[in-house]
């Protein structure tokens, strides 16, 4: 009984710790990666484009979304609907319809480029739009889909990335303070193995299937002729469609929505590296970009006074940084009238700026300081000479 109460107290303590963790972040980024080529992998492109649409809808700007699409099914000659990609057989939503900014396409989607993207190791020639310019205040959502196996994910049918590679890239990002938190989501066969090697803090991961388990597609479109979306992504999107910017649903709600009946595989969640409790993390902390907008509380009347003062002339001159800058620009430093010889102080004394000493405080401190002044003087001199020597 005691043990139980002790354990519950222990748990309660830890829950409290999680709840009070600092969730501050000021910007959101998304990295969406489709790693497989060819027409029959249509669904992987559709997966990623659906995610792209969702994060954009929730406010992450295109400049903060890195979209890696390894093939262009929209323009594939087998596509019965040229220029369109659909993720449902009702074809209600054209994922390629609105402006889609693909950052890495076709053969640019390589393991090397992906690692470079995460670690931001590029040559001078790399444009800013294709870089992950995150900082310590960034929350990053990383979504990957393709064909994978135990501890690897295939890129382009030509190479593969190991789970250890991603873990090491995250470690480098953490070392250089390139993220606040990462939410890693992967939809591939044996997906849960891909996050098994992570060791950097503040990473939350979810995968579609466990070791030795396949991930399945959801359904095919007869006219498109291939499967159009994967199960795990389909049910993720199903959940996300109910999310608006002001949604209070948490990531735990998202995780709870996955069931074996729906996904047909065991969805895995890794939370041991993550400080916060997923039930206290808003979905929009990663999928959206919610800015903290506050009213400006500084005294704007002073701005107006300063502006009108500057136009009326010097009589109503009010202290303002713009007025000061204008004054300074009028007087070039060499001709400055402020250059004054010793003994001829050029005062700019206004009643407001003069501060009177708090005599009582000053006297008290002074009386306390007097008996020690000689000692302090000797000490300071000794320190001074010592300091100079060190220098």
- d(C-alpha 17, C-alpha 19), whole Å: 5
- Supply the minimum distance, in Å, between the C-beta of residue 106 and another protein: 21
Site for another protein in 84-113 (CB under 8 A): 111-112
Q: Which of residues 21, 93, 100, 162 is near another protein by CB under 8 A?
A: 162
Task: Verify binding: residue 339, another protein, rule CB under 8 A.
Answer: yes
Q: How many angstroms separate the CA atoms of 201 and 289, rounded?
A: 22
Collect all residues with Cβ–Cβ distance below 8 Å to 107 and sequence separation of at least 6: 70, 156
CB 281 within 8 A of CB 232: no
**200 contributes a contact to another protein by CB under 8 A:** no
Q: Output the CA–CA distances (angstroms, integers) from residue 103 to 58, 128, 133, 141, 170, in the order listed.
A: 20, 11, 14, 16, 21
Binding mask 345-374 for another protein (x = CB under 8 A): xxxxx---xxxxx-x--xx-xx--x--xx-
| Shortest separation between residue 161's beta carbon and another protein, angstroms | 8
Residue window 170-199: x/- pattern of binding to another protein, with contact defined by CB under 8 A:
-xx--xx-----------------------
Range in contact with another protein (rule: CB under 8 A) among 39-47, 69-77, 116-124, 187-195: 116-124
189 is annotated as an active-site residue: yes
Residues 218-257: x where in contact with another protein by CB under 8 A, - otherwise, as a string: --------------------------xxx-----------
Measure the CA–CA gap between 274 and 68, rounded to whole angstroms: 26
- The 3-state secondary structure of 116-164 reads HHHHCCCCCCCCHHHCCCCCCCEEEEEEEECCEECCEEEECCCEEEEHH
CB nearer another protein, residue 94 or residue 120: 120
61, 27 contact by CB (below 8 A):
no
Angle among Cα 131, 134, 139 to the nearest 5 degrees reads 125
Q: If you ran DSSP here, which 8-state letter would residue 250 be given?
A: B
Catalytic residue chosen out of the listed positions 34, 189, 218, 292: 189
Mask for 42-81, x = binds another protein (CB under 8 A): --------------x--xxxxxx-----------------
To another protein, the closest distance from the beta carbon of 60 in angstroms equals: 7
Ramachandran region, residue 204 (left: φ > 0; alpha: ψ -120 to 50; beta: rest): beta
Size of the site for another protein (CB under 8 A): 100
Contact 170, 116 (CB under 8 A): no
Q: Does 150 bind another protein (CB under 8 A)?
A: no
| Residue pair 42/227 in contact by the 8 Å Cβ criterion | yes
Stretch that binds another protein, among 32-40, 204-212, 216-224, 291-299 (CB under 8 A): 291-299
Closest CB to another protein among 152 and 258?
152
Q: Which is nearer to another protein, 168 or 230 (CB)?
A: 168
- Min CB(174)–another protein separation in Å: 9
Closest CA to 302 of 315, 320, 317: 320
Shortest reach from residue 304's CB to another protein, in Å: 6
- Annotated catalytic sites, by residue? 147, 189
């Amino acid at each position: 009984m005691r043990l139980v109460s002790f354990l519950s107290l222990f748990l309660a303590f830890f829950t409290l710790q999680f709840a009070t963790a600092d969730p501050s972040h000021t910007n959101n980024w998304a990295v969406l990666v489709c790693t497989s080529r060819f027409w029959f992998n249509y669904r992987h492109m559709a997966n990623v484009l659906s995610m792209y649409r969702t994060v954009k809808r929730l406010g992450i700007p295109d400049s903060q979304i890195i979209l890696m699409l390894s093939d262009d099914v929209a323009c594939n000659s087998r596509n019965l609907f040229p220029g369109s990609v659909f993720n449902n057989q009702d074809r209600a939503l054209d994922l390629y319809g609105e402006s889609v900014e693909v950052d890495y396409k076709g053969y640019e989607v390589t393991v090397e480029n992906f690692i470079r993207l995460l670690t931001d190791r590029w040559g001078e020639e790399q444009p800013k739009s294709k870089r992950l310019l995150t900082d310590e205040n960034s929350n990053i959502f990383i979504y990957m889909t393709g064909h994978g196996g135990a501890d690897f994910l295939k890129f382009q049918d030509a190479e593969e990335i190991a789970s250890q590679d991603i873990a090491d890239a995250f470690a480098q990002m953490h070392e250089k303070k390139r993220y606040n938190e990462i939410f890693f989501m992967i939809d591939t066969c044996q997906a849960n193995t891909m996050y098994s090697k992570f060791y950097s803090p503040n990473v939350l991961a979810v995968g579609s299937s466990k070791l030795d388990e396949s991930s399945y597609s959801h359904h095919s479109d007869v006219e498109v002729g291939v499967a159009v979306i994967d199960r795990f992504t389909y049910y993720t999107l199903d959940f996300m469609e109910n999310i608006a910017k002001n949604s209070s649903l948490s990531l735990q709600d998202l995780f709870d929505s996955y069931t074996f009946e729906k996904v047909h595989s065991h969805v895995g969640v890794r939370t041991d590296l993550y400080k916060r409790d997923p039930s206290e993390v808003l979905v929009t902390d990663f999928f959206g970009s919610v800015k903290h907008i506050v009213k400006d509380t500084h005294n704007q009347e002073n701005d107006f006074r300063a502006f009108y003062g500057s136009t009326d002339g010097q009589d109503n001159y009010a202290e303002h940084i713009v007025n000061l800058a204008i004054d300074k620009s009028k007087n070039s430093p060499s001709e400055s009238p402020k250059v004054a010889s010793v003994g001829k102080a050029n005062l700019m004394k206004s009643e407001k700026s003069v501060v009177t000493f708090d005599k009582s405080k000053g006297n008290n401190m002074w009386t306390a300081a007097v008996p020690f002044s000689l000692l302090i003087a000797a000490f300071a001199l000794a320190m001074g000479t010592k300091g100079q020597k060190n220098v």
